[in-house]
A and B are shown apart, each in its own frame.
Chain A
Amino acid sequence: MYIDPHVHMVSRTTDDYERMALAGCVAITEPAFWAGYDRSSAQGFFDYFRTLTDYEPLRAKQYGIAHHTWLCINPKEAEDLGLAREVLEIIPDFLEKPNVLGIGEIGLNKNSRNELKIFEEHVDLAKRHDQMILIHTPHLEDKLKGTRLILDALENAGVDPGQVLVDHVEEHTVELVLDRGFWAGMTLYPDTKCTPQRAADIFEIYGQERIWINSAGDWGPSDPLAVPKCQQELRARGHFEEMIRKVSYDNPLGFLSQSGKFRTTVE
């Protein structure tokens, strides 16, 4: 049994829901993200948010998977301040939907000034509406700098670190995140983030408190079964089932349940 707390199912086929259910997935959360192209208007985001709050939960339900989501305009589309602020204005209309857990995945992409402005405005929105936050940290060479900028901005905003999950941590950023009291997520990607083996190494070095694993399965090279593959890696190394359950089920359950909306069964 497991929870995949970060997976972009709008980019996956229904077959993937079936395979995830067969592998033991009981619940997922799907942050709003970049579609692979820039949307031309806030209306495009309105329709996307309807997909995430109305349609995807029904698709997941067919396979016994509870679907949840996080809303935002992602940092890749944040250079256009006008568009980003229009999207920020429509987000509150969706926050009362039953599967919306909070604001995400917000953060930085290339660490630009506009990205940082829009990130701070999202954090302010989350604070005003008492929402949890899911953070995207940048890719590859931009990750270390972006993670530092994000953590500083969160602390300056005075958010409760226990209500914030900082995702896509790797060897050079995991300690920064955990030491400042935030939750950390490891994304299991074939090339550009953690492999299941490296995630297992990070658990062994940094422990299993306030940390989880996710597939972040999307339209690029990614694997919606990455979480059970990491479970298998931990099992093969001789880790106890209690530890494996903690990082792949208990920890996401503990963090996400703070929203009051998270569930592991479908109605």
Chain B
Amino acid sequence: MTSMNEPTCPMDREAVIARYFLEHRAKLIDLASFLDRIDRASGDAGTVQDFRIDAFREGIRELLSEGPGRARRVQEIFSDQSTEPIDEAPMKGALGAFNPEEND
């Protein structure tokens, strides 16, 4: 593995920003709009209590951290960090974020 700070992308920084900025600007607004949509949805008023959204907000905070490796750290925020197999599979699919109550 190369150092995350080594210039391993052949494009220079200006070129990276020029090529990808609009696409990722749109994704950022999508995130904001998604959080607004949750607030506007019917159900309990006030703060949303959902383990997926908790992890989502923590992931957003990670975006503002310094230095490379953000993608890996966001992946780890969503991940089950336990180490032992579970007794039985509760379902086939995955929800996208680990539910801490599963370990209670």
Question: Residues of A with Cβ closer than 8 Å to B?
Answer: 34, 76, 79, 109-116, 138-145, 148-149, 170-172, 175, 178, 197-198, 201, 204-207, 236-239
Asked if A145 and B79 make an inter-chain contact with CB atoms under 8 angstroms apart, the answer reads: yes
B85 at the interface (CB under 8 A from A): yes
List, sorted by A's number, 6 A–B pairs whose CB atoms are closer than 8 Å: A113-B87, A116-B85, A144-B79, A204-B9, A206-B1, A238-B10
| Inter-chain contact total with CB atoms closer than 8 Å | 93
B65 at the interface (CB under 8 A from A): no
| Besides A109-B89, A145-B81, 7 other A-B contacts (C-beta < 8 A) | A112-B85, A138-B94, A140-B97, A144-B76, A144-B80, A145-B80, A238-B10
Kindly state the separation between the CA atoms of A171 and B70 in the bound complex, as whole angstroms: 9
Kindly state the separation between the CA atoms of A76 and B91 in the bound complex, as whole angstroms: 9
Q: Which residue of A has the minimal Cβ distance to B99?
A: A141
B57 at the interface (CB under 8 A from A): no
Chain B 49-88 residues near chain A, CB threshold 8 A: 71-72, 75-76, 78-83, 85-88
Size bracket of the B interface: 20 to 34
B11 at the interface (CB under 8 A from A): yes
Main secondary structure of the interface of A (DSSP, over half): helix
Asked if A112 and B11 make an inter-chain contact with CB atoms under 8 angstroms apart, the answer reads: no
B41 at the interface (CB under 8 A from A): no
B95 at the interface (CB under 8 A from A): yes
Report A38 CB to chain B, min CB distance, Å: 9
Kindly state the separation between the CA atoms of A141 and B102 in the bound complex, as whole angstroms: 12
Question: Residues of B with Cβ closer than 8 Å to A?
Answer: 1-2, 4, 8-11, 19-20, 71-72, 75-76, 78-83, 85-98
Which residues of B sit under 8 angstroms from A145, Cβ to Cβ? Answer: 79-83
Known contacts A140-B78, A236-B19; A148 and B8 CB within 8 A of each other = no
Asked if B1 and A175 make an inter-chain contact with CB atoms under 8 angstroms apart, the answer reads: yes
Known contacts A141-B96, A172-B79; A204 and B8 CB within 8 A of each other = yes
Asked if A110 and B1 make an inter-chain contact with CB atoms under 8 angstroms apart, the answer reads: no
Asked if B96 and A207 make an inter-chain contact with CB atoms under 8 angstroms apart, the answer reads: no
Closest 8 CB pairs of A and B: A238-B10, A110-B89, A172-B75, A140-B94, A139-B94, A144-B79, A204-B8, A171-B72
Asked if A110 and B86 make an inter-chain contact with CB atoms under 8 angstroms apart, the answer reads: yes
Main secondary structure of the interface of B (DSSP, over half): loop
Interface residue from A109, A144, A172, A205 paired with B8 (Cβ < 8 Å)? A205
Asked if A112 and B81 make an inter-chain contact with CB atoms under 8 angstroms apart, the answer reads: no
Report B53 CB to chain A, min CB distance, Å: 14
Asked if B93 and A141 make an inter-chain contact with CB atoms under 8 angstroms apart, the answer reads: no
Report A65 CB to chain B, min CB distance, Å: 30
Which residues of B sit under 8 angstroms from A111, Cβ to Cβ? Answer: 80, 85-86
Kindly state the separation between the CA atoms of A238 and B20 in the bound complex, as whole angstroms: 15
Which residues of A sit under 8 angstroms from B93, Cβ to Cβ? Answer: 139
Which residues of B sit under 8 angstroms from A110, Cβ to Cβ? Answer: 86, 89-92, 94
Kindly state the separation between the CA atoms of A144 and B80 in the bound complex, as whole angstroms: 7
Which residues of B sit under 8 angstroms from A34, Cβ to Cβ? Answer: 92
Report B65 CB to chain A, min CB distance, Å: 14
Kindly state the separation between the CA atoms of A170 and B75 in the bound complex, as whole angstroms: 8
Report B14 CB to chain A, min CB distance, Å: 13
Asked if A79 and B10 make an inter-chain contact with CB atoms under 8 angstroms apart, the answer reads: no
